[in-house]
Structure 1
Amino acid sequence: MKTFAGVSAAALFALAGPALAQGEDAAGNTDDTRVEETIIVTAARTILPPSALPNTIQLISDEELALQAQLTGSAVEVVSTLVPSFSPTREKLSGAGETLRGRSPLYLIDGVPQSNPLRDGSRDGYTIDPFFIDRVEVIFGSNAIQGIGATGGVVNYVTAPAPAEGEGWTGKVLAQIGASNDFQGDGYDYRGGVLAGRDFGGVDVTLGVASQKRGAFYSGDGRRIGIDGAQGEVQDSQSLSFFGKIGLDLSATRRLELMTQHFELEGDGDYMLVSGSRATNTPTTTIRGTQPGVIPTNKVLTSSLTYTDEDLFGGLLTGQLFYQDFEAVFGGGTFATFQDPAIAPAGTLFDQSANNSEKMGLRVSYERGVDAVPGLTMRGGLDILNDQTYQELILTGRNWVPETEFTSYAPFIQLNQALFNERVHISGGLRHEIAKLKVNDFQTLYAYGAQDVDGGEPDFEETLFNVGATAEIVDGLTAYTSYAQGFTMADVGRILRAVSTPGQDVDSFLNVQPVVSDNTEIGLEWNKGPYTASAAYFWSTSDFGALLVMRNDVYEVERQRTEIDGLELTGGWETPIAGLKLSGGVAMLNGKTDSDGDGEVDIDLDGGNISPDRVNFAADYATGPFSVRVQTRSYLDRAFEGRAAGTDFDGFTLADAFLRYSADFGNITLSASNLFDKQYVTYDSQTVQPTSNTRFFAGRGRVLTLAFETKF
């Protein structure tokens, strides 16, 4: 009972589009193979097997996550490395511009939303230490499975399961040290963690703590990489995380489980930025110094209380209460936006902002087969969400973004019909979103004219649909197709804080029409013998999108039509050489937007809104206690038609290598990220703000890491 209940803790069934799953073998090869039917994809919010679900899903196992996390200690970096349709990261605390299939993904921890669409500070990638994650579930494409925010897809971090019965204390221990290529004294990284749990008979407990200390980052040419003092850094930082889970078996079929985790990452503030020069191709760097103000920080508390009844009138009832408290502190400066002569002389006022978001929610669902119709499964329920968000200038106590409250109620129903001895599955459903945004009267900052804005309560209702089918054509060959709608809000915080016209009223000027994205895809999958292969083509449109446009060094929101399409290919081969496996993946994306408002797309999406094409390759070899993995990811050149000069992307290829020795006492792993010490400038720095010499960041050079991990 525990195995199922732990897996289904976040399985609160909603409007789930059906999905196929890209699986991974023990070495972590993503090969698009159909995963074992015993695996429940909790992010899809159903207990139906992956063979019944027609969206593309990729699972990153605990073994692969543990291996890849040794390179960076970041779950979002692992996702970016292994998922070809995911953008290259900025290698900073901010994830602005990082997309999945050209749109923003929704991050979850056991189904609890981490993203903050009302005032998107792009800090949702760093909310949990990967040491506490059992696996990562990635659902591709726009969908309304989890409600607001998943226009690009869902990234669900599934936390450590409940301990097995009758085994005493079980868990794991990790200790690792990393060093930059030339072993600079300030370039060392340290990471460690302990996780332990025990079943006491009817009650089980899991507790953990993890910590990481990152030093300065160095590029391939041996220079310190520039500090992003405004948006926040992961270099020169330290994090501390706590994790707890308590489960109570109320009966053989009923379980109550409480999960809570606290994550805090804070910069040390030991370096000052030195501008680079694009003219001489010299990236931004740093010198020793003390950053002014409060050092950028992420502080997150996530909790959920889940009740599961596996046999209520022959079906499964699941209910979850959740809470998330999120604070993201950004770096400060004497920015023109922050100036107010009533506080300090113009040009002298130093301030900095912090995003604050508090979410509470309830999700109740019920799923069972319909006895009168063989093969028919029905699930339905209700989701409730309350999100309160504001952005404060913390040194002067002013609100840059006023307190904004979003409340939604969403009933849903989903049907899945199995046919022809479960070789064919047809599904469809709908979700009706009833939402209201509440903003009290507020005044904008002096820089916007200190405008008095009347509050209001604009609302909307939206019905979102999905339909899909999977068919096993012949043994080993499966085809699938689906259409699903997802939605999010435009970043209303950016809109509200920038009101500069007198006499505005929230009810009249703020358009809260949601960004509804329509995602259609078709795919084929082969899984037989030593070969696996898949191909998926998708296209996604939104008539009234929310495009991020850079103006005066600040992103603003424009409601423009966008169209995105792409092709994803994967393959795997268990070679005749014992222990040798090869795998690879390709993602090709195209995206355009309507720049002149005539209803027709006319220019390319820029690097802040879509990722480059990519090719991934991996080779794994195991013999006796030794295993080796070499992986590469090639980001291909990209030109942006209709965009400003200097925004084109010069691609680059990065390689990583792992050597592991496995023994009874644990695993010893030596890894090297950026194996060939490639000197490169990050994708974001090449394609966004092409004239800025302060935001001209190089990527990290070779890092050598020695890690020891043991399970008990």
Structure 2
Amino acid sequence: MTTRLCRKAGFPLPGVKFFIIFMMAAFISGGAAAQTVIKGTVKAHKELLKFATVRIKGTNNVVYTGKDGKYILETSQQGEVTLAVSMLGYQEQLRRLSLQPGAELTADWQLEPVSVALGEVIVSASRRPEVLDNVPSSVTVLSKRTIENNLAITSDVTEILAYEVPGLAPSAQTNSNVGQSLRGRSVLVMIDGIPQSTPLRNGEVDIRSIDPAVLERVDVLKGATAIYGNGATGGLINYITLTPKEEGVISGKTSVNLTGSLTSPKNSLGGRISQLLAGKYKKFDYTVGGVYEQTGEFKDANGRILGNNYSLGETESYNAFVKLGLEPTSRQRIQLMYNFYRSVQNSNYTLVNGNYATGQPATGVLGKQAGEPTGSKGNHNLQLSYRADSLIGGTSLNADAYYESRDDIFYVSFGRFEGGDGQSHTLAEKQGLRFMFTSPLLKLGTLSYGADVIHDVTSQPLIDGRIWVPEMKMFNIAPFAETQWTLLQHLIVKGGVRIEKVRIGVDDYTTLRITNASGATVTPSFNVTGGNLNYTATLFNAGLRYNRFPLFTPYASFSQGFSVADIGLALRDAKVDNINKINTEAVLVNNYELGFVSKYKRIRFELTGFISTSKLGAEMIYDVNTDLFNVNRTPERVYGFEAALQYSPLHNLDLSASYSYVEGKADTGRTGNYNMYLNGRRIAAPKLAGTIQYRPLSTLELRLQYMGIQTRDRFDMIAGNTYKGNEGIVKGYDLFNLNASYRATRSTVLTVGIDNLFNEDYFPARSQWFMIPGFYSKGRGRSFNIGVTVSY
């Protein structure tokens, strides 16, 4: 029967047929035998972990643990491989395995929560990758996980940083970061080392320069530093963008959020969508991201519209991000990065001024806003970088070229300018080139040396074309060298020098006549002869850190910072006919820091004290009679301390707390007697912050966040129950945020966030010390953020 069927079907004769069947069976059994099976269980403490990722590094072999914490991974890989197990909130673990065809291996895992000891975090404190435990100064690093936790509540990066960074002044919850100083001085904001700040005409809108969804981490270096150049007299904030970590050709994450007010939901609903794609193929990798957000009306604890001067209510934000990488060899990397950010307010309300004397907050009434929408009209960053390791003598090279341009639009000033109302915007364009070599020294140290070159063109015209601040063209070249040694195994010694050479060119220009509220001339219009302003400064830094005993790791540092002192402000308010007669001398800051880190089991405590001095100040003084800001150039001394504690009493419970205090005084008589307190624009009220993070299940995380702003009362009241400009008393307030994240499936996470949990009715610190009627706005009341994120 079989033979007949085979012939009918045209099959070979039985002998051949049996041979074919035998070969097919051998092939099938041989293929099955070639598979290696790895199985096991993943736990944390005694809890079985669901949705943990088990992957063979460098391949697409990946599985996930089930409800019982077990996994089975089948692979055709042979020989030595690295097996990796990871899960959000836990440290990744690696294990080398030797795979034999047909073998069955068991690999069980015990994961540990992400440690509170940050010794392995890499930072940009020396412009090259460095272990945090080797940095002899105070640094705060916001990890990707910390950023994502905060994004479950708000996308406002000024608010995120205020909660997470000791020493940074509180946010005003607006597009402007006026007064959000770091340790009482200006902060230099960067994206992958590209300057976002505009020290030539500081519009104080640089912190909101990128959407946090495309960030890998944020490095905050506190205290004056010259490591990246002009502007960092209080420190720097460096946004580090995403680079793909997965080995697959394509992976992605889609997030959708719904936001709104819980005090008065009407017209408050907003939405946000974020899409990220990343992958690696052979020597090429890429990351592509897009974010769009539209907010609804922002309301206070009583359900009233917040004053809309730079408010983030009714704001449209866009972020587009691309990063392409190529590694021709294991020792080289070429990378191209581009980011575009735009955030503008399109409000249906016109401003109703507040009144500090009566406590009446600024609000809004229905009507069309005057002028163009305020905010960041467009911020472009383009960077091409190259890294080469192990060159001659073990030297490495890091080089990059970049381009940055931005257009930031401010509110309309009514009746202030000659010719009527005026709305200004800062236009800034930078091109820069940097290179740095790092060479080993006797196996005990390194020497880094190179140079920065930047060309910066900044101006502040009015939207209608009238010139308020003329174009300032800065050319800055700065060679530098820094060395670091490890002596006696545990003593880190660091020192460096940087030479700043700056030339700022200004053409002849004509000032605008400025009037007061009654139309009287405050400053007349006249011609000013331009020219060149030249600066040269040699800056030093030195630091020590002793890592012998984890229980007490002391460090000390001295660093200098350099900044041109808001040249544009001096030019627009010029009262002389030649720029060489204007006091435009640069600010040189000396920063001294002493601190220690103490680690014991799962406790980490850090205490840092600091003092910074400058012979010339840059305090902004507001004159209520002229409605102008003037710069006070007297000597200054700023001092304070910060304390930070992290503790994990249980494997699923993390606690953290921080306290920061800063104070500053000016020597008005230049006699060595620092007799006048610096105002609120420079010095923030003491800040207490804390977080409780609890994981009752491996799939559920709860996070309660607190920030308390304490009272600062340093100045006498004047007539009318008010204070001089920027000197208003800051009365304390307490804010709580709550968010929860639940991993519904291995690829889906649900989040719920509540901002201002207890609906605190308060004025943010800036509203209180600023006192300007149009900015005397309350803080946002209780609001919600509901989101879903799908990864693939």
User: Quick check: TM above 0.5?
Assistant: yes
1:43 shift after superposition: 4.6
Q: Please point out which of 445, 451, 468 is paired with 1:382.
A: 451
Q: Which residue of 2 aligns with 1:706?
A: 786
Q: Please point out which of 377, 382, 406 is paired with 1:303.
A: 382
| Partner SS, residue 504 of structure 2 | strand
Distance (Å, rounded) in 2 between the aligned partners of 1:512 and 1:498: 12
Seen in structure 2, the aligned counterparts of structure 1 residues 27 and 282 have a Cα distance that, compared at 3 Å, is farther
Select between 671-680 and 170-179 the one with higher mean Cα deviation.
170-179
Aligned residue identity for 2:696: T
Select between 595-604 and 373-382 the one with higher mean Cα deviation.
595-604
1:105 and 1:155 in contact (8 A); partners too: yes
Q: Which residue of 2 aligns with 1:6?
A: none
1:199 shift after superposition: 1.9
1:282 shift after superposition: 2.3
1:667 shift after superposition: 1.4
Alignment pair present for 1:84 and 2:153 = no
Q: Which residue of 1 aligns with 2:4?
A: none
Q: Please point out which of 574, 593, 602 is paired with 1:499.
A: 574
1:212 shift after superposition: 0.8
Seen in structure 2, the aligned counterparts of structure 1 residues 204 and 485 have a Cα distance that, compared at 3 Å, is same
| Partner SS, residue 213 of structure 2 | helix
1:558 shift after superposition: 1.9
Q: Which residue of 2 aligns with 1:626?
A: 700
Alignment pair present for 1:472 and 2:547 = yes
Alignment pair present for 1:198 and 2:284 = no
1:666 shift after superposition: 2.0
Structure 1: gaps of 5 or more residues? 4-24, 341-348
Q: Please point out which of 487, 491, 498 is paired with 1:431.
A: 498
2:263 and 2:302 in contact (8 A); partners too: no
Q: Which residue of 1 aligns with 2:630?
A: 556
Aligned residue identity for 1:381: G
Distance (Å, rounded) in 1 between the aligned partners of 2:385 and 2:143: 23
Q: Which residue of 2 aligns with 1:510?
A: 582
What TM-score results when the alignment is normalised by the length of structure 2?
0.81
Distance (Å, rounded) in 2 between the aligned partners of 1:434 and 1:610: 30
Seen in structure 2, the aligned counterparts of structure 1 residues 599 and 402 have a Cα distance that, compared at 3 Å, is farther
Distance (Å, rounded) in 1 between the aligned partners of 2:167 and 2:616: 23
Select between 654-663 and 150-159 the one with higher mean Cα deviation.
654-663
Seen in structure 2, the aligned counterparts of structure 1 residues 32 and 565 have a Cα distance that, compared at 3 Å, is farther
Distance (Å, rounded) in 2 between the aligned partners of 1:410 and 1:541: 23
2:153 and 2:739 in contact (8 A); partners too: no
1:164 shift after superposition: 3.5
Q: Which residue of 1 aligns with 2:17?
A: none
Alignment pair present for 1:67 and 2:140 = no
Q: Deviations over 1:391-425 (max 9, x none)?
A: 11112x1111011011111111111110112x111
After TM superposition, the structure 1 = structure 2 runs for residues 584-603 of structure 1, keeping only pairs within 5 Å, are 584-603=657-676
1:218 and 1:224 in contact (8 A); partners too: yes
1:643 shift after superposition: 7.3
1:46 shift after superposition: 2.2
1:267 shift after superposition: 1.1
Q: Please point out which of 321, 346, 359 is paired with 2:401.
A: 321
Q: Deviations over 1:541-582 (max 9, x none)?
A: 111121111123332222121111111111122224x52222
Select between 102-111 and 243-252 the one with higher mean Cα deviation.
243-252
1:473 shift after superposition: 4.0
Aligned residue identity for 1:418: T
Q: Please point out which of 454, 469, 472 is paired with 1:404.
A: 472
Aligned residue identity for 2:118: V
Alignment pair present for 1:363 and 2:445 = no
Q: Which residue of 1 aligns with 2:775?
A: 695
1:32 and 1:534 in contact (8 A); partners too: no
Select between 635-644 and 311-320 the one with higher mean Cα deviation.
635-644
After TM superposition, the structure 1 = structure 2 runs for residues 414-453 of structure 1, keeping only pairs within 5 Å, are 414-421=482-489, 423-447=490-514, 448-453=523-528
| Partner SS, residue 685 of structure 1 | helix
Task: Identify which of structures 1 and 2 has the higher relative contact order when contacts are C-alpha pairs closer than 8 Å and 6+ apart.
Answer: 1
Select between 667-676 and 511-520 the one with higher mean Cα deviation.
511-520
Q: Please point out which of 179, 183, 186 is paired with 2:260.
A: 179
Q: Please point out which of 524, 531, 534 is paired with 1:459.
A: 534
Seen in structure 2, the aligned counterparts of structure 1 residues 548 and 199 have a Cα distance that, compared at 3 Å, is same
Aligned residue identity for 1:359: K
Q: Please point out which of 369, 378, 382 is paired with 1:291.
A: 369
After TM superposition, the structure 1 = structure 2 runs for residues 31-50 of structure 1, keeping only pairs within 5 Å, are 34-37=117-120, 39-50=121-132
1:598 shift after superposition: 4.0
Q: Which residue of 1 aligns with 2:102?
A: none
Seen in structure 2, the aligned counterparts of structure 1 residues 685 and 475 have a Cα distance that, compared at 3 Å, is closer
2:278 and 2:286 in contact (8 A); partners too: yes
2:264 and 2:299 in contact (8 A); partners too: no
Select between 444-453 and 480-489 the one with higher mean Cα deviation.
444-453
1:570 and 1:586 in contact (8 A); partners too: yes
> % of aligned pairs identical?
28
Alignment pair present for 1:653 and 2:734 = yes
How many residues are aligned here? Answer: 663
Distance (Å, rounded) in 2 between the aligned partners of 1:436 and 1:266: 34
1:599 shift after superposition: 4.5
1:227 and 1:285 in contact (8 A); partners too: yes
1:75 shift after superposition: 1.9
1:32 shift after superposition: 11
| Partner SS, residue 150 of structure 2 | helix
Aligned residue identity for 2:434: R
Q: Please point out which of 688, 710, 714 is paired with 1:636.
A: 710
1:626 shift after superposition: 1.4
Q: Please point out which of 758, 768, 777 is paired with 1:676.
A: 758
Q: Which residue of 2 aligns with 1:526?
A: 598
Q: Which residue of 1 aligns with 2:563?
A: 488
Distance (Å, rounded) in 2 between the aligned partners of 1:53 and 1:643: 44
1:594 and 1:602 in contact (8 A); partners too: yes
Aligned residue identity for 1:295: P
Distance (Å, rounded) in 2 between the aligned partners of 1:528 and 1:118: 46
Larger radius of gyration: 2
Seen in structure 2, the aligned counterparts of structure 1 residues 389 and 262 have a Cα distance that, compared at 3 Å, is same
After TM superposition, the structure 1 = structure 2 runs for residues 211-250 of structure 1, keeping only pairs within 5 Å, are 211-228=292-309, 232-250=310-328
Q: Which residue of 2 aligns with 1:344?
A: none
Aligned residue identity for 1:432: I
2:605 and 2:643 in contact (8 A); partners too: yes
Q: Which residue of 1 aligns with 2:28?
A: none
Alignment pair present for 1:168 and 2:249 = yes
1:641 shift after superposition: 4.1
1:32 and 1:571 in contact (8 A); partners too: no
Distance (Å, rounded) in 1 between the aligned partners of 2:789 and 2:776: 37
1:334 shift after superposition: 2.5
1:162 and 1:247 in contact (8 A); partners too: no
Q: Which residue of 2 aligns with 1:275?
A: 353
1:184 shift after superposition: 2.2
2:116 and 2:647 in contact (8 A); partners too: no
1:604 and 1:642 in contact (8 A); partners too: no
Select between 588-597 and 142-151 the one with higher mean Cα deviation.
588-597
Aligned residue identity for 2:525: A
1:656 and 1:671 in contact (8 A); partners too: yes
1:177 shift after superposition: 0.7
Q: Which residue of 1 aligns with 2:81?
A: none
What is the CA RMSD across the aligned residues, in angstroms?
2.0
| Partner SS, residue 71 of structure 1 | coil
Distance (Å, rounded) in 2 between the aligned partners of 1:440 and 1:649: 42
2:324 and 2:337 in contact (8 A); partners too: yes
Distance (Å, rounded) in 1 between the aligned partners of 2:342 and 2:331: 36
What TM-score results when the alignment is normalised by the length of structure 1?
0.90
Distance (Å, rounded) in 1 between the aligned partners of 2:305 and 2:388: 55
1:82 shift after superposition: 1.0
1:460 and 1:512 in contact (8 A); partners too: no
Aligned residue identity for 1:237: T
Q: Deviations over 1:117-172 (max 9, x none)?
A: 0001111011111111111111111110110111111111100113544x121122
Distance (Å, rounded) in 2 between the aligned partners of 1:464 and 1:411: 11
Seen in structure 2, the aligned counterparts of structure 1 residues 434 and 693 have a Cα distance that, compared at 3 Å, is closer
Q: Which residue of 2 aligns with 1:544?
A: 616
Distance (Å, rounded) in 1 between the aligned partners of 2:270 and 2:666: 42
Select between 276-285 and 531-540 the one with higher mean Cα deviation.
276-285
Distance (Å, rounded) in 1 between the aligned partners of 2:569 and 2:470: 10
Aligned residue identity for 2:595: G
2:298 and 2:312 in contact (8 A); partners too: no
1:359 and 1:387 in contact (8 A); partners too: yes
Seen in structure 2, the aligned counterparts of structure 1 residues 666 and 443 have a Cα distance that, compared at 3 Å, is same
